[in-house]
Chains A and B, each alone.
Chain A
Amino acid sequence: MIPFLALVRKDLKLFFNDRKAVVVGLLVPIVLASFFGYMFGGQSGKTETSKVPVLAIDQDGSDISRGLITQLGSDKNLDVKPSTLDVAREAVRKGKATVAIVIPKDFGKDAGHALFTGENKPELGVLYDPSHNVELGMVRGILSGAVMQTVSKEMFTGKSGREMVNESLAQFENNPRISPEDRKALRHLLNGVNELNEQREREGESGQGTITGGLTMPYETREQAITSGKDIEYNGYAHAFAGMGVQFILFMGLDVGIALLTLRQSGLWQRLRAAPLSRTMLLGSRTVSASLIAGFILLVLFGFARVVFGVHILGSLAGFVGVCAAFSLMTAAFGLMVAALGDTVEATRGYSIMATLIMVMLGGAWVPTFVFPAWLRKLTVVVPTRWAMDGLDAMIWRGLGFSSALAPIGVLLLFTLLFGVLAVMRFRWRTE
């Protein structure tokens, strides 16, 4: 037992003696996790996102086009500014604007006619930055609502709307493609609109209020975040700290492997092998020390997240500790496997950094796995970091019980076993 404890103590001493490395090793994940946490929702889960810069080119100059631009500008997600076509095109190309909306000449008039007839729909030009597809989708949705509201408002309440209703009535009468029955019904509808407009005009003169908002979405949403409990808001830092913790602990495991690879080529390895120590003790002690260091890193990270960002373990504490312990062991075994399979230090460092980054990426440590395509989400169950992230998320902010930690713990321990067996089988004990 004396040699085993000495080996573990020595590893811990070497780790903590290098104070600069310890500080940097903790500071970097804290900074990154703080950044990602803020980006993904912050402490209240409602971090204000930046507005999408939109340029509006009004070539129509009608009440409808002006109303449309005003309507778009009132949306909290858009930052709408007037522009000209050439300037807007250049701004989008340079990435200074995400979308430019071109309202062509006669848009208001054509849109008003098309509202009732469905024919000769005018085209709204949309110039967009192809690297902002997500924002484009959002702008398109807001634009649809704004056009409907603005055009219908003008049709039912505006002066030009009344003129257009009368023009539309005249067109129906002379349109041979409309059947007599349809003509009768449309005439009835448009006369009704005219009556409504006249009535609203009278009400406006007598000072009585009326509804003049045009057609709007016939529903509103009531959004409710399902978190670990009532009145507990999602904390974006919870996932970010879990993700960065997983990433940097994996890097620590990688360092353990590289250090072992380097050690194997040194006189120290000869001295260790010359002592009456078993191979199990040499690798086992390294596993324990690496796990303890990983546990320490997680403790500091989540301690910081709790004090500064109010991240709490809302689920089972035992489950959280279990997931952390299983992940730490898996990381240590991963490091040993790196040392066992590696050849030269330089080549091994390159390959293993790549493998680590892929594991981190697919595990959802950078961005949650729900943004992955369905096939990729299914595929990532073979990546241990996915289980670590799922387990940590479940225990930290989803607030689930210990039973939800069992599967991640079990799978992580299976990976530990797999990596450990591979490491023992492939480790080259011969001195160089």
Chain B
Amino acid sequence: MLEVKHLTKNYGKLIAVTGVSFRADRGETIGLLGPNGAGKTTTVSMIAGLLSPDSGEVLIEGKQVKSDTDPVKLKIGLVPQDMALYDKLSGRDNLTFFAALYSLAGAKAKQAIDDVLNLVGLSDRAGDKVETFSGGMKRRLNLAAALLHDPQILLLDEPTVGVDPQSRNAIFDNLEALKKRGKTLIYTTHYMEEAERLCDRIVIIDHGKMIANDTLQGLHKLLPVTNVIAIDLDHADGFNPEQMLPLPEVKSTELVQGSLRVGVHDLSRGAPGVLRWLAENGHSYHHVSSEQPDLETVFLTLTGRSLRDS
């Protein structure tokens, strides 16, 4: 559906994007994850045809966008990071205008507008001026405007910036519905939980470079520790966690407020050995749980920096 090959874009001496490659199939959601200024928006702009890459190419069903009026553009819907709406017009007038940009008029346009309003749950407010909408409603209308011409690929550039949790969930529901319809979503974000919830594959970009491109599970495998076993000991006083390090699969140990935290590379192989060692050495416990490292940890491991602090 979408192939991004070795995209590079420089602004003078500033390297905005270099060597970014990935592909997205029908119904797949790709997350472009990275801190602000990492090159995510530049990558999306090149996919949408707003920017010409210095090198590399973007193929949509095997075809490049060659001109401003190239019909290939009809396959793409863009949800810009900034609100792309006319505040002084009503929601319906906005959608009528954006539909007309794709030559949709009359009954066809009306049907498309009703469909997208229904999808984003704004049918009852369509006649109101956008300036009266809440931030979340504007974001949903911003999404709706990109769907009018029924594009196969949806480029979403941080579509939940500045919205409340309720509206964010509503947008996620909309995106999941679109995914079920077989749409390909390219989703840029610096929120790890969004990428974890929505994306089939995650492309991590930092300083314009692609540093990872994998499924969530695949990214976890890049880490030395894929799971942490948390064991609440009955008697933690005097317990030395380092004595467990020689056990197979155990990569790290620490004692935090009476809770023993053991990092293992493979949970199914590591957990039995750990629990057995505790029983054999007379250490009783009352609660056991396992945790998977989040994308923050992945980013930290890959870049040496925290995603939020970048």
Contacts and interface: CB of A to CB of B under 8 A. Distances in A.
A276 B70 contact: yes
B73 A267 contact: no
Contacts of B100: 2-3, 5-6
Given A14-B86, A17-B88, A267-B84, A274 B50 contact: yes
Contacts of A191: none
Interface in B64-89: 68-71, 73-74, 76, 78, 80-86, 88-89
A270 B48 contact: yes
B101 A268 contact: no
A233 B193 CA distance: 79
Interface string B132-162: 0000000000100110000000000000000
A9 B49 CA distance: 26
A10 B82 contact: no
Q: Which of A9, A276, A430, A431 neighbours the largest number of chain B CB atoms within 10 Å of its CB?
A: A276
B69 A276 contact: yes
Contact of A274 (B78, B93, B104): B78
A267 B102 contact: no
Given A10-B97, A270-B80, A275 B73 contact: yes
Interface residues of B, number: 35
Interface in A253-283: 266-268, 270-279
A277 B85 contact: no
A13 interface: yes
Contacts of A266: 82, 84
Given A13-B89, A272-B101, A279 B68 contact: yes
Contacts of B105: 2
Interface residues of A, number: 26
B111 interface: no
Contacts of B104: 2
A18 interface: yes
Q: Is the interface of A mostly helix, strand, loop or mixed?
A: helix
A276 B73 contact: yes
A17 B68 contact: no
Nearest to B145: A271
B104 to A, nearest CB: 8
A14 to B, nearest CB: 6
A430 B101 CA distance: 19
A271 B142 CA distance: 10
Contact of A277 (B45, B51, B68, B146): B68
A275 B80 contact: no
Q: Is the interface of B mostly helix, strand, loop or mixed?
A: loop
A18 B129 CA distance: 12
Nearest to A10: B97
Given A275-B102, A431-B45, A270 B84 contact: yes
A363 B302 CA distance: 66
Contacts of B89: 10, 13-14, 17
A277 B101 contact: yes
Given A2-B100, A3-B100, A14-B89, A274 B73 contact: yes
Interface string A264-308: 001110111111111100000000000000000000000000000
A224 B228 CA distance: 104
B103 A270 contact: no
A276 B93 contact: no
Contacts of A267: 80-84, 142
Contacts of B49: 273-274
B88 A276 contact: no
A266 B105 CA distance: 25
A266 B83 CA distance: 8
A13 B145 CA distance: 18
Contact of B71 (A2, A14, A276): A276
B98 interface: yes
Contacts of B71: 276
Interface in B19-52: 45, 48-51
Interface of B: 45, 48-51, 68-71, 73-74, 76, 78, 80-86, 88-89, 93, 96-98, 100-105, 142, 145-146
Which 6 residue pairs across A and B have the least CB separation, nearest first?
A: A267-B82, A6-B100, A267-B80, A267-B84, A275-B101, A274-B78
Interface of A: 2-3, 5-7, 9-10, 13-14, 17-18, 266-268, 270-279, 430-431
25 contacts: A6-B96, A6-B97, A6-B100, A7-B101, A10-B86, A14-B86, A266-B82, A267-B81, A267-B83, A268-B84, A268-B85, A270-B48, A270-B50, A271-B84, A272-B101, A273-B50, A274-B49, A274-B50, A274-B73, A275-B98, A276-B68, A276-B70, A276-B73, A276-B102, A431-B45
